[in-house]
Amino acid sequence: MNIVQDLPQTFNAADYFVDRNIREGRGGKVAVLCEDRFFTYADIQAGVNRFGHALRSLGVRMEERVALLLLDSEVYPQAFFGAIKVGAVPVCLNTLLRPKDYEYFLNDSRARVLVVDAALLPSIESIRKNLRFLETVVVARGPCPAGDLALDPLLAAQPTALEPAPTSKDDACFWLYSSGSTGDPKGTVHLQHDMVFCAKTYGEQVLRIREEDLCFSAAKLFFAYGLGNGLYFPFAAGATAAYLPGRPTPDAVYAAVAQHRPTLFFGVPTLYAQLLEAEGGMESVRLGVSAGEALPADILKRWQDRFGFGIADGIGSTEMSHIFISNDPQDIRPGSTGRVVPGYEARIVDEALRDLPAGEVGTLLVKGDSTAACYWNKHEKTKQTMLGEWLNTGDKFYRDAEGYFYYGGRTDDMLKVGGIWVSPAEVEAAVIAHPAVLECAVIGSPDEEDLIKPRAFVVLRSGFAPSPALGKDIKDHVKKTIAHYKFPRWVEFVDSLPKTATGKIQRYRLRQGAENADAA
């Protein structure tokens, strides 16, 4: 597979994902649905071109960063591809964080221009005096304070024709910040060819996205997973994307599905569990997709029983742009992450980076042409993670004899119980299979003899109340489901689990809380 090698040396991703659709006759086709609005590919192209001209009018040059703090709406593809078209580098920022996080992102990226949704502007106001490089704030979709620029009139003053900048296929294209599930976020620098590689491998060969598909991603566009689902996968195929600017609550998701009738739905395990607890339909959907955390087999079974279609679970990362191991929609194995996506390679290795045989748990390394070039301003971390052509995912997996991968957990999350490695994901899946359990996270805690044992934090489904008897019943259930020594010695009932904005459970925060409680 020579996807990247076959691209011309002078290559601009905005031309590929937007202009190509016009050249191929899809100018009048709907590209984006958002609430009660729709936008054709010609509309999006005009917006992309106006946005590119607007950046040039603000003095933005090739390779300079443009920060995007935007809710999911029609503005996103115009701003994202508009920056890329003039050779600038959009930096997609998480919309659910705090002012101090944005201070870090904006100073770290040295973005000169910030495009911010009016609803998110309050998160910037208190830190403006601390932003050393930011020169211009452009406000989208709402009131604009004096001194800032309103996006709509700025775009209206620009022409609608724009030639793409003569970027190389190996030029910087966009940045994503890691989710911070294991520490401080890191700016991952992606190249012009990365999105094409993901679209040609996972998008075409696993999801089999067609021009007639309509993609709806509850995972937001600032998230590597959501950016593919809701933007470059549908644009690569000439399909349609539906956007939900607000929070993806079960009610909001079901309403959007009823309104837009997507054929592909993208979520995370937590949301799938919540949707199963709520009323709503998925009649138009042919396939669900899950990533971010391992999808418990019980959630998959309940989903298939209720809606009649499967959920293709996979694993991706910010560093790899999107999913590189996945279940095939026609071959979904409950509890498995699936097999390597065509175009990628994967290895499971020990601490000395020696390959391990099938059935042994080790660290997952992956190789493919969507890998980020580096972490911005983090040379040592880049060397530790990006091992030549191979990327150290930091995830523990084992592979069976048929080539199916099974997730064990993050390296830092693995437990050694009685000298044997225990996967928190396996214990969590067993706990979630109990009819009272909605969510679960497992960490290791010392017992009275200072030996590490599993501790489960459990969120109950509606209609169930915490009690010692229920805790014992959950333990007994796990003992019958997996090896006895893996059962949680403690079951703690909680209202919610700490998560990143992308839905990943922050087990390190649970460990810190448990350590503080034990110390007290």
Q: What is the pLDDT of residues 366-424, one digit of tens each?
A: 999 999 999 999 999 999 999 999 999 989 999 999 999 998 877 777 786 766 668 88
Q: What is the distance between the alpha carbons of residues 22 and 160, in angstroms, rounded to a whole number?
A: 14
Q: How many CB atoms lie within 10 A of CB 414?
A: 17
Nearest to 76 by CA among 15, 121, 31, 109: 31
Residue 179 pLDDT > 90: no
Nearest to 397 by CA among 435, 349, 331: 349
SS3 category, 15: helix
Q: What is the pLDDT of residues 56-103, one digit of tens each?
A: 999 999 999 999 999 999 999 999 999 999 999 999 999 988 899 999
Q: Is the CB of residue 309 less than 8 Å from the CB of residue 288?
A: yes
Q: What is the pLDDT of residues 466-485, one digit of tens each?
A: 999 999 999 999 999 888 88
Q: Is the CB of residue 201 less than 8 Å from the CB of residue 344?
A: yes
Q: Which residues contact 85 (CB under 8 A, 6 or more apart)?
A: 12, 14, 15, 18, 48, 49, 52, 162, 164, 165
Q: What is the distance between the alpha carbons of residues 307 and 363, in angstroms, rounded to a whole number?
A: 35
Distances (CA, A) of 84 to 135, 164, 166, 331: 19, 8, 11, 37
- The DSSP H or E segment spanning 452 is strand 452-460
Q: What residue ranges define each of the domains in the chain, with the CATH number in brackets?
A: 1-192 (3.40.50.980), 193-221+234-366 (3.40.50.12780), 414-519 (3.30.300.30)
3-state secondary structure 387-419: ECCEEEEEEEEEECCCCCEEEEEEHHHCEEECC
Q: What is the distance between the alpha carbons of residues 501 and 98, in angstroms, rounded to a whole number?
A: 11
Q: For residue 419, what pLDDT is reported?
A: 61
Q: What is the distance between the alpha carbons of residues 117 and 138, in angstroms, rounded to a whole number?
A: 9
**Mean pLDDT (whole number) for 13-27:** 98
Q: What is the pLDDT of residues 102-154, one digit of tens each?
A: 999 999 999 999 999 999 999 999 999 999 999 999 999 999 999 999 999 99
Q: How far apart are the first and last CA of the chain?
A: 58
SS3 category, 450: coil
Nearest to 18 by CA among 100, 87, 111, 84: 84
Q: For residue 180, what pLDDT is reported?
A: 54
Q: For residue 519, what pLDDT is reported?
A: 59
Q: Which residues contact 368 (CB under 8 A, 6 or more apart)?
A: 197, 201, 320, 324, 341, 343, 344, 345
Q: What is the distance between the alpha carbons of residues 466 and 99, in angstroms, rounded to a whole number?
A: 36
- The DSSP H or E segment spanning 83 is helix 75-85
SS3 category, 338: strand
**Mean pLDDT (whole number) for 323-344:** 96
Dig out the tokens for 53 from the structure. 């001209």
Q: What is the distance between the alpha carbons of residues 90 and 60, in angstroms, rounded to a whole number?
A: 11
Q: How many CB atoms lie within 10 A of CB 505?
A: 26
Backbone angles phi, psi at 437, to 5 degrees: -100, 130
Q: Which residues pair with 397 in a beta bridge?
A: 362, 407
Q: What is the pLDDT of residues 242-292, one digit of tens each?
A: 999 999 999 999 999 999 999 999 999 889 989 999 999 999 999 999 998
Dig out the tokens for 217 from the structure. 């991603």
